[in-house]
Amino acid sequence: MAELIHGLDPARIAANLERARDRAGEGVELLAATKYVPIEEMGTLAEAGVTLVGENRQQDLAAKRERWGDAFEWDFIGTLQSRKVRQLLPACRLIHSLASDSALAEVAKRGGPETEVLVEVNVSAEPGKAGIAPERIGEFIERAAPARVTGLMTMPPFSRDPEASRPHFARLAELAGEHGLERLSMGTSQDWEVAVEEGATIVRLGTALYV
């Protein structure tokens, strides 16, 4: 398990952020993944100009949001458990990882028209991996109401070669187009530039910002 990151350098993060913004271009949101950023280091991100963060655990999001509040917009990017939906909906701008029938039922029950969620899709059909099959996207969109599904998210199979992710990103963009969805959350530190080339509107950055 990775260790928490201490001693973050705001100047380095700011430079990395500016470089990433230049490469990403207009219309792409840069989300700082903060799973391994301690609560006391979150201020460094704000100092560096980070405005959008994503957390993997509901309890960590709650604690960091209580401490840092309006310093950031808060997204949830971790595995979405149905029992956490009630706490997450009022705390998040956007949930990236709707991928189970139980969580879908809770989102539909507790969400409203202001609630935005992304459906996580297992584009690569990896056994045991989170995400629904592409053919289920339509039913998820319908059953989420009154909450709104506004986009898709995927995590391709891990590879050190960013190009290996390209066909998975391209397929997700194709699926989003088929269903009239605008948001595409795809790409992390090792392959985010390929994701942008394939239409990502949100990329999730960790080490690309911090080191």
pLDDT for the residue numbered 130 = 92
Report all structural domains of the chain as residue ranges with CATH numbers, in order of start.
Answer: 30-210 (3.20.20.10)
The pLDDT, as a whole number, for residue 93 is 97
Residues (pLDDT < 70) of the chain are 1-2
pLDDT score at 2: 65
Q: Which amino acid is at 22?
A: D
Tell me, what's the pLDDT at 4?
86
Global confidence as pTM: 0.96
Q: What is the model's pLDDT at position 1?
A: 47
Strands of 34-162 (E only): list them. 52-55, 73-76, 94-98, 116-120, 148-153
Nearest residue to 205 via CA among 51, 26, 11, 40: 51
Task: Give dist(CA 118, CA 153) in Å, integer.
Answer: 6
